[in-house]
Chain A
């Protein structure tokens, strides 16, 4: 019997594909955002708002990740023609998108005509934090009805986020959500995070989010 030293990250296979995805996106000057949240926090609503506001200025494509159904793809179809639905039900991971799923979705996209790719991950605050996809920015949505303790309960997804969106601000009079305490908890874990308070229902705060997205897309394109 002998012992061999290995020291190899088990997630390396996913990370290799994610890096290839990002290189492919960069070659075509496509900026990708991975949007993550618990089910029902407003990922699809945020995508719809972003499509509506930015559609005259950017060509936007969408990848929808869900365990089953094409409900979300149908919702965004009226705003963009470039939409791919991924169903994860029969895949090795049903609880999160993985880099290999994005790799095959990108084959069906007219990358030369796209400036911004919005990737809606599977609704889950745990599994998507383990898998990078090749995105340029990671965005997490937390909505008021979920409660203000989510960063304490699911720290990893907030630690790796570039931006956190506090959605459903119109619920504030009806729920006991301490905005200051929530912001302290995410900024404690992640001092560089951008925080947006908005409501996809009333459109309050959407303007600032869209300006940030536009700025990120332009900054990235200028670098390439």
Chain B
């Protein structure tokens, strides 16, 4: 529900980078998106199709690499992927954890011609 502004940024960044590279067309944009980030790939694609019209990015394919949530136990430093919503450490059962991966939202690379 809050993908519109984010997709505007994607179109702006892609257009600027394609311009810098003196490309004539953006073929694909490779995005990295964390599982914990509240952004939905399908919504971004939906807005992208209309926001990129008449820009150098029109028609580009969005490719999403999803990053699963990864946590680190503050007690015993175990790195783990949560199996349930309680986020307790599988080793020491501690509940003091920090997110080490899963909040990403960035453009990694683009294919242009």
Which of A's residues lie within 8 Å of B, judged by CB? Answer: 1-14, 92-96, 98, 126-127, 129-130, 152-153, 155-156, 159, 184-185, 187-189, 191
Contact = CB atoms under 8 A, between A and B. Distances in A.
B106 A9 contact: yes
A93 B1 CA distance: 8
B103 interface: yes
A14 B5 CA distance: 9
A127 B95 CA distance: 25
Q: Is the interface of B mostly helix, strand, loop or mixed?
A: mixed
B69 to A, nearest CB: 9
B61 interface: no
Contacts, number: 101
Given A93-B4, A127-B2, A130-B2, A188 B105 contact: no
Interface of B: 1-2, 4-6, 8-10, 12-13, 17-18, 21, 23, 27, 31, 36-39, 74, 85-87, 94-99, 103, 105-113
A7 B113 contact: no
A7 B85 CA distance: 30
Contacts of A5: 108-109
A10 B37 CA distance: 12
A107 B23 CA distance: 39
Nearest to B21: A4
Nearest to B44: A10
Contacts of A8: 13, 17, 106-107
Contacts of A95: 1-2
B111 A1 contact: yes
Given A96-B2, A153-B85, A156-B103, A13 B9 contact: yes
